[in-house]
Amino acid sequence: MGLHAAIAGTGFIGRVHARSARLAGAELAGVAASSPESARAAAAELGADRAFDSAEELVRDPEVDVVHICTPNNLHVPLAEAALAAGKHVICEKPLALDAEGAQRLVDAAAGSGLKAAVPFVYRFYPTVREARERVAAGETGALRLLHGTYLQDWLLRPGDDNWRVDERLGGPSRAFADIGSHWCDLAEFVSGHRITRVSARLLTAVPERSSAAGRKAFESDGGGGEARPVSTEDAAVVQFETDAGAIGSLVISQISAGRKNRLWIELDGAEETLAFDQEHPEELWCGRRETETIIRRDPATLSPPAARLAFLPGGHPQGYADCFDAFVADFYEGVRSGSPAAEMPTFSDGLRAAMVTDAVLTSSREERWVEVPGPRERAVAK
Ligand SMILES: NC(=O)c1ccc[n+]([C@@H]2O[C@H](COP(=O)([O-])OP(=O)(O)OC[C@H]3O[C@@H](n4cnc5c(N)ncnc54)[C@H](O)[C@@H]3O)[C@@H](O)[C@H]2O)c1
């Protein structure tokens, strides 16, 4: 079936979605942006069939089968609700909602609708991540005892660096943690099979004022000069946690770590071996045993079948971030076409899970105590 995809929000990630949608065989039926003019410019640049005057118009258009929501966070819930109500399959960017309540509404709306609803936790789609998951599931790693890592960026290092994410009304009450900590936690749970059950968190707002962000794109800085305004969202977070399978862990999240661009690093220490994955060097999975250290390369000739499936190129021909998006969108569309989504697809339930962890992190930091993350009753519901 020829799918018609439409993309709301044509900034950094909307363009990545557009490419992946095309590669997965969809027609790019249209785009919407912050104004009709910018939608027209983006439609021309991306070769979309049409420019919608608004995202609200896009999500209801009868020609559209799949809606990709790539707008600032505050629009995710209203647009996803409207898209589901109009009978569209939805890919909604993370964070799925500004809080767990909003994410729960979307899980409920998707459940039983017959529609597919996913959140792009795309780091799951690195072949080396799948290899790690396979090793853990097969028992090669042994019982996991420690899960630890970082997700560090530097694009908000200075007071002159700004973005809509900094503004609580657009980005939500958590910035760094909801934005990138959500990716780390999803990855940790995906690879380990554990669930984070309790958190103790400290948040840091190191840059208390930033210059105005009007029109500034993600990962771009104009070096300051705009009007200074106070910042209420965190630049960094340090989180300790426990899991339902007896592991403990720690995590440092930051958008102010100079020189670190997108350093998602995760280590899983098991009774038999340690696995380490570095998103900036995704061609390799480090596997440490007491006697030996091994580098497992992304080579379809040697990876396990679930990992090799995602290795489109032969070993030594590097794959990267965009390939993860391509694989995610291709799997999502395949789920739409066949009616049976891949078990590894990150769904709205996983978006809700991330929102619950984020809410717990905010509460823990505010109340200076350990906070439970609510149980996964919804996890089995929405697919
Ligand atoms: N999954 C990932 O790896 C990943 C990576 C980056 C961003 N994201 C998420 O994607 C979303 C967008 O982030 P970004 O980095 O692309 O931001 P961005 O600022 O580059 O782009 C946002 C886009 O939304 C558009 N927009 C604003 N208001 C709109 C409206 N009312 N209707 C339609 N479009 C509107 C803007 O014109 C802009 O093109 C965020 O939710 C972010 O968390 C996810």
DSSP per residue over 317-341, as a string? Answer: S---HHHHHHHHHHHHHHHHHHS--
Angstrom CA distances, 331 to 324, 326, 379, stand at: 11, 9, 19
For the segment 74-104, what is each residue's pLDDT rounded down to a tens digit? Answer: 999 999 999 999 999 999 999 999 999 999 9
**Any atom of ligand 1 within 6 Å of the Cβ of 71:** yes
**Any atom of ligand 1 within 6 Å of the Cβ of 14:** yes
> Is it the case that residue 233 has pLDDT exceeding 70?
yes
pTM: 0.96
Tokens 């305004």, residue located: 229
CB-facing half-sphere around the CA of 260: CA atoms within 13 A: 19
Ligand 1 probe mutation, 7, 20, 31, 34, most atoms within 8 A of CB: 34
* CB burial readout 252-290, b (16+ within 10 A) else e: bbbbbbeebeebbbbbbbbeebbbbbbbeebbebbbeee
The phi, psi pair for 176, rounded to 5°, reads -60, -45
Ligand 1 atom nearest to CA at 123: 3
Ligand 1 centroid to 5 CA: how many Å?
Answer: 17
**Any atom of ligand 1 within 6 Å of the Cβ of 181:** no
Residues 341 and 383: beta-carbon distance below 8 Å? yes
Residues 273 and 293: beta-carbon distance below 8 Å? no
Query: What DSSP letter does each residue of 66-85 carry, written as one string?
Result: EEEE-S-GGGHHHHHHHHHH
Tokens of 53: 């005057």
pLDDT at 281: 98
For the segment 39-85, what is each residue's pLDDT rounded down to a tens digit? Answer: 999 999 999 999 999 999 999 999 999 999 999 999 999 999 999 99
CA nearest ligand 1 atom 21, residue: 11
- Of 62, 11, 58, the closest CA to residue 30 belongs to 58
Tokens 């105005």, residue located: 212
Report the distance separating Cα 287 and Cα 346, nearest Å: 26
CA nearest ligand 1 atom 25, residue: 9
**Any atom of ligand 1 within 6 Å of the Cβ of 239:** no
Ligand 1 centroid to 186 CA: how many Å?
Answer: 20
Tokens of 130: 């799948």
For the segment 169-227, what is each residue's pLDDT rounded down to a tens digit? Answer: 999 999 999 999 999 999 999 999 999 999 999 999 999 999 875 656 667 665 556 78
**Average pLDDT, stretch 358-372?**
98
pLDDT at 282: 98
Residue 267's H or E segment, with its range, is: strand 263-270
pLDDT, the chain, mean? 95
- Residue 141 gets which letter from DSSP? S
Residues 21 and 52: beta-carbon distance below 8 Å? no
Angstrom CA distances, 324 to 36, 168, 234, 239, stand at: 30, 29, 28, 27
**Average pLDDT, stretch 2-22?**
97
CA nearest ligand 1 atom 9, residue: 93
